[in-house]
Structure formats: C-alpha cells, structure tokens
Structure 1
Amino acid sequence: MQKHIHLIGICGTAMASLAGLLQLKGHRVTGSDQAAYPPMSDLLRKLKIPVAQPFSAENLTPHPDLVIVGNAMSRGNVELEYVLDQRIPFTSLAELIHAEFLTGRESLVIAGTHGKTTTTSMLAWIYEVASRKHRELAPSFLIGGVAENFKTSFQLRETRPFILEGDEYDTAFFDKGPKFMHYFPDALILTHVEFDHADIYRDLDQVKTAFKRLVNLVPQRGRVVAFDGSANVSECVSKAFCAVERYGFAPESDWHIDDLRFRDGRSIWKILRKGDSWAELELPMAGEHNALNATAAAALAAGQGVEDAAIAEALATFESVKRRLEVRAVVDGVTIIDDFAHHPTAIRETLKALRGAYPGARLWAVLEPRSNTLRRNVFERELIDSLSLADWIVLAGVYKLESIPESERLQPEALVEGLKQAGKDAALLPNADAIVEAIAPELGAGDVVAILSNGGFDGIYEKLPQRLEQRALVRS
C-alpha cells in the first residue's frame, strides 16, 4: 500500500538514500531540510523528490502517513514539534530500514570509524559484477555516499543480499543508540575503531562498547571480517560467537596483503588466504587505506561464496565514491581534490594517498573543521601530525564554533602555531572567499589542492576553480 512518507533532514547522505529506496517501493516521498548541497541535492533533484527549505510546519500539510526523523534533528525543530503535537506517526531511518527492507534478506554490514563508505561501495560493486553470471547475487544497498559505478547511493532488488553501511552515530532524538544496532548483520566487516563523534561518545571506551554490541549481534553461522592492525578492533571482536577472519598486513592474518605497490595512480597487491596464494588484485586508486578497504570487501565476498574472478574484475573496474579523493577540477595545471574529511586519521590517509598518486607535486591541504570531532580540541596533536604531510596548510574558521562549549572548542590559532613550529607553512583564514583570494595567486602548475570538509564549505569547490579560470583568462 502506497504511503506518503516525509523525511525531516532529507539531505543527509543516508536520508537521501532512504528516500530513493522508499520511492522505489512505490511510496510518495517528500522531504525538508535547512540547506541542500551536492551530491545529495543533485540526487534528490534527479529523483524528482520535492525538498522544502527551510523547515516549516507547513511542509507537513496535509499530514503525511509517516515521518522519518533524521538523527541530526533535535527538540525545538519546528517540524519535529509539529509532528509531536499532532501525533503524526514517526520513526527513525534505521528502524524503517529494518522493517521495510531487511526482513527475509541477507544483511551484510560494513562498520568502522574509517573506510566504511568506500568499502560498502566496493562490496556492492563486487556483488553487482558477480550477478552478471549469478542473478541471485544482485545486491540491494544503501551507502553513505554516491558510488560512481552506480551513480547512486542506493539500489533495491528482489534478491537476498542487502549491503549496508553501518553507522555508529546515534539513531534519533528518541533513540540514542547507534544506527547499526538495527541492522542485525549476517556478516560484518569491521575496518577501524577509534574515538570519534565526540558530541555523543564520552571516550574511546564508549565507542568500543558500541562496536562490541554490534559484533554480538552476528549469529554463530555468520562471519566477522576484521582489520588486523588495531588493538581496538581486536578487543571488539575478541568475544564474537561467530567465525572471525582478520585482514591486513600481519603475516598470520587470514587475508594477508603482500607486495603492495603503486603505479600510475593504481594499487596492485597479492593476497595470501590462510598462508596460501589466493589472488593478485588491482585497484584504480592509490593509497594503502584503499587497498585495505578492497581486501576487506574481497574477503567478505569470497567467504559468502562470490567467485574469485568476479571479485578481481570488480575491483579492477571500481570507480570510487563521490567526495572520496574526488578530482573536482584541473584548471591551469592545478588539480583540485574533494575529500570527506572527518577525523585526523582519515586526513592522514588521504594526504598519504595523494603523495603516492602525485609524486613530486606541491600538496596543499585546505581544511574546514566541520565534523563534531574536528570542531573539538580532542585531537589537536593528531591533527597537526596529519596535516603536516602537506606542504602548505590553510585552515578555515571552525564551523558553528558557538555551538561547542567553550572549554571543548578547537583553537585553530593554536593549531596553526603548532604547524608552524613543525616547520610547515600554515595560515588561518575566516572563510572560503578569503581562502580562494589568498591561495589562487600562489598556486602553480602541478600543484594539488586537497579540500577537506564533510560539508559544503561555503561553495569553495566551485569558487576556487572559477577563480583559477579567471586567472588563466587574464594571463592569456
């Protein structure tokens, strides 16, 4: 039966993807948000799903049959208050996914502090390639980003496999547990476990507790594929009731990466499965972290019965994810990269990968501290170490600094001073416009600019290429 379902906060990556899935099931879908920006605004426009801006009680007239409340929504939001006052039925994204899409399916969940979006996209593409020969493997999926191979972040099939990015962030204002606790995985990938989401987790122990509870949901017949290079991951899987297979660089691991090398922006490596030669894999992406992500996806797929040849073909033709080392423009010899930076470890791996992909280039890191972790002072030392991999570092003002308690705020001035003491060229500029005006004249042919933000960054992704194009026209 068709329902009218309205999503409050529809422009979040998972919410927009859910909107698409609900539309495929035949529901009439509407949504609202405070502000929309690519790539999800583009996706919703393509789907012709109406997005009302800004929030207003009028967006809920006439009353929808069901409201999905995004996890970023809190009491005081005008639409949420109207829903509560009018007793319109409501639920969370994670609850609805379980109820509408996971019953009777094989739930394959990818979780971890880093790498889950890319790994989920890789696994979905592996299953898609495998389904050309075995139709029953055609995957449904929901990814927290747009997978380039599919040009979308969601897909719905009648077959059993459902591949999900398992987010550790809380579910909704009325459910403060992690979203992934609703997904009940039949098989699970656990990439990394670090302290993150400082707005909802008190410390690393709380984060580990969440992942331990996720592992505890996997049935005895299931499997966990877990990174071998993290003591935190080892602790989280130590009491699993199912088989646990480790992947990474440790010689004793079930899926051991060997002879990793980079060539012309590609990664090539061998995998030993339980000590025996299993496959040589190739990925059209640089970076040790991407080889690890691909190995995790390969390990889970192989263990679920996907043929080796399909795994190798899929990884060799993988096209990445929007906002993950995405080349946004090459203008006047300057390469502009967009990367979804949310944590010092992710920044470090991004800059390491760019060093490998563009050897000899002058590397610029332009950071907007925007995530709930980066806006706080919990990782100042780690952030200095990560950013120091670049030649030039530019910091924007901290996003919505006033919403962070003063004692917890990141001090960008101290960060810049720490970078300078480390011998780096670093500057603090208030916003995207100031950054563009300051760095555009300094950029030269062969430079690589990594723009690091998990938001729209005030349009810098468009403003910087435009400014460089203007510069080139004046010079010609």
Structure 2
Amino acid sequence: MSKEKNNISTTKKGLQSKKGLGWDNIYFIGIGGIGMSALARYFLAKNKCVAGYDKTKTAITDALSVLNIKIHFDDAVKNIDVKFLNPENTLVVYTPAIPKNHIELKYFKTNGFKVLKRSEVLGLITQNTFCLAVAGTHGKTTTTSILGHLMYECGVELTAFLGGISENYNSNLILKGTKVSVVEADEFDRSFLTLSPDLACITSMDADHLDIYGKASELVNSFKDFSKKIKPNGKLFVKNGLLLEGITYGIEDHSDYSIQNIKIENGSYVFDVKTPKTVLKNLEFNLPGRHNLSNALIALAMAVEYGCPYQQLAMALASYKGVKRRFTYQIKTEDLVFIDDYAHHPAEINAVYQAVTEMYPNKKVLAIFQPHLYSRTRDFIDDFAESLSLFNEIILLDIYPARELPIKGVTSKWLLDKINNTNKQLVSKSELLKTIHKSDAQIIITMGAGDIGAEVKHIKKQLDIAS
C-alpha cells in the first residue's frame, strides 16, 4: 500500500509543475482499449493534440481516426508524429495490458517524458470534481452507464467515462460539463486505488484477476482499501450480503434501497423502489435479468443521494437503452432471437442464463462462448463448466489469450470435457457459421471478452439470410 500511495503522491507533485493536466499533446499506448479511447475522446474535446498506438485495428480505432486522431499499429518510435516527441509538452498514457518490453513505452520512459497509467490520469482528472465511482467484479460498465444517463437526463454538469459503448449516446464518453465525474473503479492491477470518490458503490467481490492478486482474499482486501479512499463525509453503497459497512441495496429484501413488487410487462420490468425516505412506485426498466435490475437500483440510489429529483429519475430510467455487448439484441423476432454479451466470468454467464430463461422460458438456447485468458480459464475451470452446462447447446471457441502466453494443459478442449452436457462441441472461428446454421435453437447467445465481438456481424448476417 505504501508504494501505491508514494506513486500517487509523486504523480500529483509532477502534475503541479504543469498546472494540472497542462500538456498540449497526449499520446496513448493502447489507444484502442475501451477505457483508453474514452480518455482520448475527453482530451480531444479539451482541445489537446491526441495520437496513439495500438496493436490491432478495430471499430474503436476506426471511430477515433474519423475524429482525426492519428493512430498507427506498428510498435516503432519512427511512426510517432514529431510533435509528440518533446517531453516538455507531451503526456504519455498507457494501459497495464501493454508488455514491459514495448519499444515505444521504453523510449518514453527513458527519455524524460511524463508516463502515467490510464488509472492515474483518470484519478487526476476526477480529483477536483464531485466523483461518483462504481466498483465491483461484475456490473461496473452497465451501472456506470445507467448512472451517467440518469444524471445527464437530470441536468447535472458531468463527465462520465464508460467501459463500453452506451446505446443512448453511441459513445464511451458522456460530456456535459466538469463539475461531476462518473467513473468505473477498476480492480484490475489495483487501478481503483488512484481514485478519491465522494460517492462509491461496490457491486460484487467475486474472485477474479487471480493472475494479479494470487488469491481471492487479497482481492477482497483491495476492495476494502478502495472503500477507505472515499473522501471525508462521502458515502459507500454495498450490495446486501457483502462484508463491508455502507448503505445497502438489494432485491426483495430489507436493504436501505430495495426493489419490490417486480412484474414483467411487454418484455420490461415494472417495480417499486423503497428508499430510506419514501417508496417510488411503478418504475420501468427495459434491460432483462435480475443482475441488471440490481445495477439499475444502485445507479438510482447514488443519483438519489446526489440529489437528483425522483420524477426525472423515473423518466430517465425508462429511457435507458443499455450498453453494446451487454445483453445486446442483434435479432429479435417471434421465431429467432440473437443476443450478444460480454460475459467472461462464470457469475456473468449465470446472470445471462437467468435473464434469457426468465424472458424466454421453454425455448432452446444455444450458447457460443470464447474463454478469455488462460489464467482465468484455469482458475475457474469447474465453475465455467457448471455455468455452461445449463444451456441446451454449447459451442466453444479456442481461448482468447489477450496479454497472456499459453499455459500447458489449459485449453478449450479441457473445458469442453468438463461440461456436463452431451450437446456440446469445440469449433474454430472458420467453422462457426456453418455450425450455427445446423442448430435448431430459437435463442442464440454469443459470450466472451475477446475478439468474438468481431464475429457478431457475420453471425447476424448469416442468420438474417437463413430466416
């Protein structure tokens, strides 16, 4: 902990000489990441010169290029625009996913540039704002985007940094002022310890990122450390059942904020919310799944505690459309439903299963899953197998490695063998469309945090032709 504090102190001291974030040029290493690209958009809106590197060309980098942000995809200093090679007026931002032997990163670190992690920059941007932070191993992106939307619709002057593309704004940045900031507090690499929020929530503390933490208890300790980062007179919200002190929230229980009287009408939830002061009647929310109800509840609770008016909050909640790749409908007809979701942890897969079976009981469901990270697959192999076994039919893709090298014996075939369901198969991406075409499932779901998202448009096209 002392090392973390020293790093933050040094960072702030270094920034004081620049009068805050006073650099003219901001260079991003890993600019195509969802969190990095939100920062890139933010600095561009602040009239900074923005450029960057990423390993792979994607829809995110294409969208940034449309904004005239120069991006290259070969790790070489010669590719960097000369204006970004002056350490006096260039801030370099990188993601922890970048390897330590990255040529450009090593150049900047050894030539006098200010080089900061994305989380450090986010902490500096938000430190002089009223900050609302959403932490937890699941639900951060959806909760943050709901909260940002609620406060935007209530007229709050805010900047919201999202870990996904909001369907309401078609962006991962909501920019309406700088008085208030809404951010995801990411536990990966202990990044959230750079934040000092006024209001914060913790949605869950399930074991994850064990490649970073080693064991689940250390992950829990990091959330406890995060809870201590809240400013004096700030408030912590915790999901009922978590072993932390704070304002509680839950579904059909006796929490401080609780959802009651849940009904499903025309594919939407209608419910009441009990707050510490009143009961809000007949609220409407359009995302399926009890996990999304929980996300909506905590976003609503934080907005209420901030001071947003009830009537405007109710209208804003009903108009929320969701986040791309979070139970996103690609096709929705009487005969066929195709849903895409970012789920990459067993608890998230369980949440998807609960949502789809609640909305579509008695229909055959095909789950297509791409495991993300060798270490996560190894650490949760039995839990993954149990979660995937619930679906009627399962298609597995090979593990998406992201930042990792292969681990001996850790393969999708190993996971496939553990799934307790005879209707299962492992296929390559080149065989995927043909395999899907043979299925008679009425509900098709793609899940995973890797490049499976790039396959969605091809699957949708195939299904559209077939129907």
TM-score by length of 1: 0.87
Question: How big is each residue's C-alpha offset from its partner over 1:228-278, in whole Å with a ceiling of 9 and x where there is no partner?
Answer: 0x3xx22xx24xxxxx21000363310122122323321122122248534
1:347, 1:386 within 8 Å by CA — same for their partners in 2? Answer: yes
Residue 12 (structure 2) aligns with: none
Letter in 2 for 1:27: K
Out of 444, 448, 452, the residue aligned to residue 453 of structure 1 is: 448
1:432, 1:459 within 8 Å by CA — same for their partners in 2? Answer: no
- Are residues 1:118 and 2:142 paired? yes
Out of 414, 423, 426, the residue aligned to residue 424 of structure 2 is: 426
- Return 463-472 or 448-457, whichever deviates more: 463-472
Residue 16 (structure 2) aligns with: none
- Return 286-295 or 218-227, whichever deviates more: 218-227
Residue 345 (structure 2) aligns with: 343
Letter in 2 for 1:225: F
1:123, 1:301 within 8 Å by CA — same for their partners in 2? Answer: yes
1:262, 1:286 within 8 Å by CA — same for their partners in 2? Answer: no
Seq. identity, %: 25
| Secondary structure of the structure 1 residue equivalent to 2:438 | helix
Distance 1:152 1:249 in 2: 30
| Secondary structure of the structure 2 residue equivalent to 1:200 | helix
- Residue 372 of structure 1, CA deviation: 5.9
Aligned pair in 2 of structure 1 residues 144, 372: CA closer, same or farther (>3 Å)? farther
Residue 17 (structure 1) aligns with: 38
Aligned pair in 2 of structure 1 residues 103, 277: CA closer, same or farther (>3 Å)? closer
Aligned pair in 2 of structure 1 residues 428, 157: CA closer, same or farther (>3 Å)? same
- Residue 301 of structure 1, CA deviation: 0.9
For structure 2, the residue ranges without an aligned partner over 5 or more in a row are: 1-21
Question: How big is each residue's C-alpha offset from its partner over 1:389-432, in whole Å with a ceiling of 9 and x where there is no partner?
Answer: 3211111111239945636x54433332332xx34411111x21
- Residue 339 of structure 1, CA deviation: 0.7
- Return 6-15 or 269-278, whichever deviates more: 269-278
Residue 227 (structure 1) aligns with: 239
Residue 189 (structure 1) aligns with: 201
For structure 1, the residue ranges without an aligned partner over 5 or more in a row are: 132-136, 171-177, 239-243
Residue 368 (structure 2) aligns with: 366
Letter in 1 for 2:205: V
| Secondary structure of the structure 1 residue equivalent to 2:213 | coil
Residue 166 (structure 1) aligns with: 185
Matches within 5 A, 1:50-61: 50-61=70-81
Residue 173 (structure 1) aligns with: none
Residue 11 (structure 2) aligns with: none
Distance 1:352 1:164 in 2: 27
Letter in 1 for 2:459: L
Matches within 5 A, 1:367-406: 367-371=369-373, 374=376, 376-400=377-401, 403-404=404-405, 406=407
Provide runs of 4+ in structure 1 moved above 6 Å: none
| Secondary structure of the structure 2 residue equivalent to 1:140 | strand
Distance 2:102 2:281 in 1: 52
Letter in 2 for 1:15: M
- Residue 348 of structure 1, CA deviation: 0.9
| Secondary structure of the structure 2 residue equivalent to 1:383 | helix
- Residue 289 of structure 1, CA deviation: 0.5
Give me the CA root mean square deviation.
Answer: 2.3
Residue 71 (structure 1) aligns with: 96
| Secondary structure of the structure 2 residue equivalent to 1:219 | coil
- Residue 373 of structure 1, CA deviation: 5.2
Out of 149, 155, 160, the residue aligned to residue 168 of structure 2 is: 149
Distance 1:465 1:399 in 2: 21
- Return 448-457 or 108-117, whichever deviates more: 448-457
Out of 109, 112, 125, the residue aligned to residue 87 of structure 1 is: 112
Out of 269, 285, 307, the residue aligned to residue 267 of structure 1 is: 269
Aligned pair in 2 of structure 1 residues 142, 417: CA closer, same or farther (>3 Å)? same
Aligned pair in 2 of structure 1 residues 61, 87: CA closer, same or farther (>3 Å)? farther
Residue 174 (structure 1) aligns with: none
Distance 1:81 1:255 in 2: 48
- Return 461-470 or 138-147, whichever deviates more: 461-470
- Residue 127 of structure 1, CA deviation: 0.5
Distance 1:58 1:34 in 2: 16
Distance 2:278 2:332 in 1: 43
Aligned pair in 2 of structure 1 residues 397, 46: CA closer, same or farther (>3 Å)? same
Residue 413 (structure 1) aligns with: 413
1:248, 1:256 within 8 Å by CA — same for their partners in 2? Answer: yes
1:332, 1:468 within 8 Å by CA — same for their partners in 2? Answer: no
| Secondary structure of the structure 2 residue equivalent to 1:341 | coil
| Secondary structure of the structure 2 residue equivalent to 1:299 | helix
1:7, 1:30 within 8 Å by CA — same for their partners in 2? Answer: yes
- Residue 353 of structure 1, CA deviation: 0.9
Aligned pair in 2 of structure 1 residues 288, 331: CA closer, same or farther (>3 Å)? closer
1:71, 1:92 within 8 Å by CA — same for their partners in 2? Answer: yes
Aligned pair in 2 of structure 1 residues 258, 2: CA closer, same or farther (>3 Å)? same
2:210, 2:216 within 8 Å by CA — same for their partners in 1? Answer: no
Distance 1:282 1:155 in 2: 23
2:153, 2:316 within 8 Å by CA — same for their partners in 1? Answer: yes
- Residue 88 of structure 1, CA deviation: 2.9
1:363, 1:392 within 8 Å by CA — same for their partners in 2? Answer: yes
Aligned pair in 2 of structure 1 residues 49, 287: CA closer, same or farther (>3 Å)? same
- Residue 202 of structure 1, CA deviation: 0.5
Distance 1:306 1:401 in 2: 40
Out of 24, 28, 47, the residue aligned to residue 26 of structure 1 is: 47
TM-score by length of 2: 0.88
Residue 4 (structure 1) aligns with: 25
Distance 2:151 2:61 in 1: 27
- Residue 30 of structure 1, CA deviation: 0.4
Aligned pair in 2 of structure 1 residues 328, 278: CA closer, same or farther (>3 Å)? closer
Letter in 2 for 1:252: H
Distance 1:52 1:328 in 2: 31
